[in-house]
Structure 1
Amino acid sequence: MFKTDFKSMGEKEPNNSRKTVQMKEVNKRPRINLPALRGFLSQIPGKFQRHLKSRFKRPTEREGANSDMFKLKDAKFNLEKQMQAWKKNPVWDDDQSTSIEVVVPKGSLCQLNVKTNVGLPPDAIYNIVTDPDNRRVFKNIQAVLSRKVLLDEGSRQIVELEQAAIWRFLWWSGTISVHVLVDQNREDYSMKFKQVKPGFMKRFEGSWRVEPLLLDEKLCHPFKPKTLSEYMSCTQCNGRIASKVTLQQLVEPAIVPPPPISWYLRGITAKTVEMLINDLVEEAARIKGASASDLVTTNSSLNQALSNEFQTLDIKERWALRRRKSRRNM
């Protein structure tokens, strides 16, 4: 029955089909769709933000596992109370050794991997590292030339930052401009930085990561806390929380100089990182009211780690050894 009706409609109104075709041809002409245009324009800021986000990778679930277990935004956790616990007992008797690893990936000057423990909660450490005026803490920052927040999501920010940094090595010193994009994420206490435009430096990038360390778990024995809420509860808010700080930094100049110049530049880079870590430890001690004598162990361990990396052989001896090896390979 339906087939018959469709056939009859086609026979009775042949002219309607011509009109339909004509209308379709008219509709093919371009027209300005104002609502669609407004919608496209309104998406430009969002697309720009997504472009910024794409430049930095978010941490994987495995990287953030420890932070998820000890969520520092716990209802029972209070930074002010935590600082009171540290001021009551500012001395940390546990081993606070600092390790520094210097590797030389192909084509780069060096990559530094530094790990150290600092006697302050992650929130306090993160406040120091991300403070816009942190040049008062880090002596190698001579001046902040410009700072612009490109994206602000509350706990996460992307900042374009340009600083004049000081470098020192033996009796030499100078300044260099550092222009980077910084991805700050307080949710997992991470900060990633990457050079904006290549110039003298082909690549300059790295990251900070801060993780919590529960120092007074023995107060909860035989119970082992699984969250910060449980830890603060069983220690009656007297349990201290320290921080495990990890700094990774890759330096790749546009032209990597040959030895022994590259050895000197590598030493300059390592000395600059040494200054950063020492300044961070000293600021943490000042905040919690520790005496200067409490800093001897931490600073000496960092100096020892650097001496193991750079003072195994004199520069001249290393150069002579390199030449002897090259002659043997000929």
Structure 2
Amino acid sequence: MAEKEGSNTRKNVQMPEINGRPRINLPALRGFLSQFPGKLQKHLKSRFKRPTEKDAANREMFKFKDAKINLEKQLQAWRKNPVWDVNQPPAIEVSVPKDSLCQLNVEVNVGLPPDAIYNIVIDPDNKRVFKNIQEVLSRKVLLDEGSRQVVELEQAAIWRFLFWSGTISVHVMVDQNREDYSMKFKQVKPGFMKRFEGCWRVEPILLDEKLCYPCKPKTLSEYMSCTQGNGRIASKVTLQQLIEPAIVPPPPISWYLRGITTRTTEMLISDLVDEAARIKGVSNSVSNCITTETDVHHRVSDEHQVDETFDIKERWALRRRRRTRGSM
């Protein structure tokens, strides 16, 4: 009997402890757990959506379709004030992904608005600008949606490295979109090159934003208004391309091929900078200015010196000196 009473006493002692704990509302807990994945997903979407909306706003801001803004006005602003001494060579990063010859990432600032730069890059007759394009073999527009076109293009491209040179056929599909100033290209059929693909991109740079101080323009119209139409817009140009031959040769041949690719890409950028200067009326093309035998001798000497210089900053310093001599 005593044992039974003791048992009842223990039960009576334990019951208050159990009853004293916070009671859990099981239906509410189940409801929370069932809604948690959806709430988490919604939260993550909102967090990741913010940069996208901001980027979209930036793209909207810098569209050159504003009724008050046009390319000719921008070019006039540059012709009035063509000097912009960035004094920096393009940044060229060379990496070697697995089974590839190289991947190039190039970035350079050019003193012209994005529309003008984009016009140069997508011009069907841009072989007059890019001297490594020997001939356009074929060009066919497969899709035209106004601001976006898909073009099948075949070119004969020239390569040079030290005292060697040659040509190679490049057959690519090009997707060009003026809305975001991008031009993506990809090889149509594998041949000597297993993969050849990349992308040009152009982004605006507001050079004279200080004229708006203490205000900060939020739209292109505001920028042009506070600078009284004299605010210049430059461009940050980036080029990414991946090159993978059918057979990747061993060193030192792969080193030479990588050097050829890097110099060819550098030539493209140099030609783009020269064309921008020509459009602004800063200087004439070196090839048009050099007429005397002495000048020709200096030009050939400089070209060899440029090719033999491995430091990119030194090469671009030599090119600037050559342009200065040509404009005299």
TM-score between both structures, scaled by the size of structure 1: 0.70
Residues 70 and 226, structure 1, Cα contact 8 Å, conserved in 2? no
- 1:90 matched to 2:82? The reply is yes
Partner in structure 2 of residue 154 of structure 1: 146
The question of 1:123 aligning with 2:126 is answered no
8 Å contact kept, 1:267–1:310? no
| Kept in 2: contact 1:98–1:114 (CA 8 A) | yes
Which whole-Å deviations, capped at 9, do the CAs of 1:146-170 have from their partners, x for residues lacking one? 0000000000000000000000001
Question: Structure with the greater relative contact order (CA < 8 A, sep ≥ 6): 1 or 2?
Answer: 1
Say if 2:89 and 2:312, in contact at 8 Å, map to a contact too. no
State the 1:65 CA deviation.
5.8
Give the corresponding residue for 1:286: 278
Query: Secondary structure of 1:198's match?
Result: coil
Partners in 1 of 2:53 and 2:311 — Cα distance?
35
2:134 to 142, 163, 170: 142
Q: 1:319 maps to what in 2?
A: none
Quote the residue 2:310 is aligned against: 307
Q: Is the 1:210–1:246 Cα contact (8 Å) retained in structure 2?
A: yes
Write the deviation string for residues 203-223 of structure 1: whole angstroms up to 9, x where unpaired.
000000000000000110101
- Number of residue pairs the alignment of both structures matches: 242
SS of 1:272's equivalent?
Answer: helix
Q: Check conservation: 1:102, 1:309, Cα contact below 8 A.
A: no
1 CA distance for matches of 2:134 and 2:171? 14
Shift of 1:77: 1.3
Matched residue SS, 1:251: strand
Percent of matched pairs sharing the same residue: 81
1:133-190 Cα shifts (integer Å, max 9, x gaps): 0000000000000000000000000000000000000110000000000000001100
What residue in structure 2 maps to residue 185 of structure 1?
Answer: 177
SS at match of 2:257: helix
Measured in 2, the distance between the counterparts of 1:285 and 1:274 equals 17
**Superposition map of 1:219-298 within 5 A:** 219-291=211-283
AA aligned to 2:66 is D
Q: Can you list the C-alpha shifts for 1:301-330, whole angstroms capped at 9, x where unaligned?
A: xx89x934799xxxxxxxxxxxxxxxxxxx
Structure 1 residue ranges without an equivalent (≥5)? 1-59, 294-302, 312-330
Change (3 A) 1:120 1:163: same
Q: Deviations over 1:79-134 (max 9, x none)?
A: 11110010011110345442000000000000000000000000000000000000
Note if contact 2:64-2:71 (Cα within 8 Å) is conserved in structure 1: no
- When the two chains are superposed, the root-mean-square deviation of aligned CA atoms in Å is 2.2
- 1:112 is matched with 104
Where structure 2 has 5 or more consecutive residues not aligned to the other structure, the ranges are 1-51, 286-305, 315-328
Kindly state the Cα deviation for residue 292 of structure 1 after the two structures are TM-superposed.
6.5
